[in-house]
Amino acid sequence: MNPLDAPALANPYPWYARLRQQGDLLYHQASRHWVASTARAVTTLLNHPGCRVRPLDSPVPLALGEGPAATLFSRLMRMNEGNAHRCPRQMLAAPIQRCTAADVSEETHRVATQLMTESQPLDVNHIMFQIPVTVVARLLGIRPDEARLLPRLTADFSAGFSAEVGEVETLHRAHLAAEELLQRFEHHLSSPYGPAAYIQPATNAEFGPDNRTRTAANLAGLLVQTFEATTGLVGNTLITLASRPALMQRVVQRHVTLSEVIAEVVRHDPPIQLTRRYMAEDSDVLGQQLPANASIILLLASANRDSQANEEGERFILERPSRRCFSFGAGSHHCPGETLATTIAGTTVQLLLQSGQVTPAQLRWHYKPSPNARIPVFEHRNQTEAT
Binding residues for ligand HEM, rule: CB under 6 A, are: 53, 77-78, 85, 89, 96, 136, 222, 225-226, 229-230, 233, 270-272, 275, 327-329, 333-337, 340-341
Interatomic CA distance for residues 33 and 3, integer angstroms: 8
Smallest separation, CB 249 to ligand HEM (Å) = 25
Nearer to ligand HEM, 45 or 247 (CB): 45
For residue 171, CA distances in Å to 157, 168, 177 come to 8, 5, 10
Q: Which is nearer to ligand HEM, 144 or 331 (CB)?
A: 331
Distance CA 47, CA 333 (A): 9
CB of 304 to ligand HEM, least distance (A): 11
d(CA 212, CA 189): 7
Residue of 168, 218, 161, 172 lying closest to 337 (CA atoms): 218
Rounded to 5 degrees, φ, ψ at 212 are: -65, -40
CA 144 – CA 114 distance, rounded (Å): 11
Least Cβ distance, residue 172 to ligand HEM (angstroms):
26
Distance (Å, whole) CA 260 – CA 315: 15
- Which residue has the closest beta carbon to ligand HEM? 337
Residue with Cβ nearer ligand HEM (119 or 332): 332
Strand partners, 365: 378
Q: Cβ of residue 82: shortest distance to ligand HEM, in angstroms?
A: 12
Closest separation between CB of residue 349 and ligand HEM, Å? 12
Kindly tell me which of 171 and 274 has the beta carbon lying closer to ligand HEM: 274
Minimum Å distance from CB 148 to ligand HEM? Answer: 17
CB of 385 to ligand HEM, least distance (A): 29
- Least distance in angstroms from the C-beta of 373 to ligand HEM: 9
HSE on the CB side for 300, CA within 13 Å?
24
Nearer to ligand HEM, 55 or 329 (CB): 329
Quick one: 123 or 228, whose CB is closer to ligand HEM? 228
Judged by beta carbon, residue 34 or residue 171, the one nearer ligand HEM is 34
Query: What residues are paired with 290 via a beta bridge?
Result: 283
**Residue 379: left if φ>0, alpha if ψ -120 to 50, beta else—which one?**
beta
Q: Which is nearer to ligand HEM, 130 or 225 (CB)?
A: 225
Report whether 339 contacts 108 (CB < 8 A): no
Which residue's CB is nearer to ligand HEM, number 272 or number 386?
272
- Are the C-beta atoms of residues 242 and 361 closer than 8 Å to each other? yes
Minimum CB separation of residue 41 from ligand HEM in Å reads 14
Residue (of 237, 269, 226, 239) closest to 108 by Cα position: 226
Which residue type, as a one-letter code, is found at position 186? E
Using CA atoms of 315, 321, 327, 330 in order, give the dihedral in degrees to the nearest 10: -140
Q: How far is the CB of 121 from ligand HEM (least distance, A)?
A: 27
Nearest Cα neighbor of 107 from 191, 196, 209, 230 is 196
Bridge-based pairing state of the strands 295-299 and 274-279: antiparallel
For the chain, the distance separating the N- and C-terminal CA atoms, rounded to the nearest angstrom, is 39
User: CB-wise, 133 or 247, nearer to ligand HEM?
Assistant: 133
